[in-house]
Structure 1
Amino acid sequence: MRILSYNIHKGIGGRDRRYKLDRVMQVVEHENPDLICLQEVDRAVKRTRHDDQPRRFIEAFRPAAHLYQLNVKLKEGGYGNLVLSRWPFQAHHQVSLRQERRKPRGAQMCVVATPEGPLHLVHWHLGLAEKERHWQAEHLLQHALFRESCHLPTLIIGDYNDWRNTLGRRGALGRDGFHQVTAPRSRFRSFPSYLPMTALDKAYTRGPIAVRHARIARSRLARDASDHLPLVIDFHLEPGPGGAQRVSEIS
Structure 2
Amino acid sequence: MKLRIATYNIHKGVTTFRGRPRIHALRTALVQLDADMVFLQEVQGRHDLHAVRHALNWPQESQHEFLAGQSHFSAYGMNAVYDHGHHGNALLSRFPIASSLNHDVSDHAYESRGILHCVITLDQREVHCYVVHLGLFGSGRRRQVAALIDAVQNATPPDAPVIIAGDFNDWGNALGDQLCQRLQLREVFDEQHVNTGVMAFLRKLGGMVPRPTPARTFPAALPYLRLDRIYLRGFRIESAEVMRGPVWSTLSDHVPIVATLHIE
The Cα of 1:217 is off from its aligned counterpart by: 0.8
Query: Map of 1:28-107 to 2, 5 A cutoff?
Result: 28-46=30-48, 48-49=50-51, 51=58, 52-58=62-68, 60-63=69-72, 65-107=73-115
- C-alpha separation between the residues in 2 aligned to 1:234 and 1:16? 35
Greater Cα radius of gyration, structure 1 or 2 = 2
- In 1, distance between residues paired with 2:49 and 2:231? 33
Instruction: Report the counterpart of residue 223 of structure 1 in structure 2.
Output: 249
In the alignment, what sits opposite 2:188? Answer: 181
Instruction: Report the 3-state secondary structure (helix = DSSP H, G, I; strand = E; otherwise coil) of the residue aligned with 2:175.
Output: helix
Describe the SS at the equivalent of 2:244.
Answer: coil
| Gaps in structure 1 of 5+ consecutive residues | 239-251
Deviation at residue 43 of structure 1 after TM alignment: 2.8
| Offset of residue 164 of structure 1 | 0.4
Residue aligning to 1:23: 25
Q: How far does residue 187 in structure 1 lie from its aligned partner after superposition?
A: 6.8
**Structure 1 residues 41 and 22, CA, compared in 2 at 3 Å: closer, same or farther?**
same
Q: So what's the TM-score if we normalise by structure 2?
A: 0.80
What secondary structure, in the 3-state scheme, does the structure 2 residue paired with 1:87 have?
coil
Residues 109-134 of structure 1: per-residue CA shift (max 9 Å, x gap): 11211236321111111111111111
Please report how far the alpha carbon of residue 205 of structure 1 lies from its aligned counterpart in structure 2 after TM superposition: 1.5
Residue in 2 aligned with 1:241? Answer: none
- Whichever residue aligns with residue 3 of structure 1, its letter is I
Looking at structure 2, the residues matched to 16 and 193 of structure 1 have their Cα atoms a distance apart, in angstroms, of 17
Superposition TM-score, scaled by structure 1 size: 0.84
**Cα distance in 1 for residues equivalent to 2:19 and 2:84:** 20
1-structure distance, mates of 2:83, 2:127:
37
Structure 2 SS opposite 1:227? coil
Aligned to 1:245: none
With over 3 angstroms needed to count, the CA separation of the structure-2 counterparts of 1:200 and 1:233, relative to structure 1, is same
Pairwise CA distance, 1:70? 1.3
Verify the 8 A CA contact 1:109 1:146 in the aligned structure 2.
no
Amino acid paired to 2:184: G
How many angstroms apart in 2 are the aligned matches of 1:94 and 1:129?
21
Alignment partner of 1:113 out of 100, 113, 121: 121
Which of 170, 192, 202 in structure 1 is aligned with 2:229? 202
Q: Check whether the contact 2:78–2:102 (CA below 8 A) recurs between aligned residues.
A: no
Distance 2:99 2:86 in 1: 25
TM-fit CA distance, 1:46: 4.3
Q: Which amino acid aligns with 2:45?
A: R
Deviation at 1:61, TM superposition (A): 4.2
Instruction: Give deviations 1:186-242, integer Å, cap 9, x for gaps.
Output: 772111000111111101122x2101111111132111111110110110111xxxx
Distance change (3 Å), C-alpha of 1:172 and 1:115: closer
Q: Say what the alpha-carbon RMSD is for the aligned residues.
A: 2.2
Is it true that 1:234 corresponds to 2:260 in the alignment? yes
Give yes or no for the alignment of 1:160 onto 2:186: no
Query: Whole-Å Cα distance in 2 between the matches of residues 181 and 157 of structure 1?
Result: 10
| Aligned-partner Cα distance in 2 for 1:122–1:150 | 14
- The answer for unaligned runs of 5 or more in structure 2 is 53-57, 194-211
CA distance 1:227–1:234, change in 2 (3 Å): same
State the distance in 1 between where 2:253 and 2:112 align: 21
Distance 1:201 1:47, change over 3 A: farther
Q: C-alpha displacement at 1:21, in angstroms?
A: 0.9
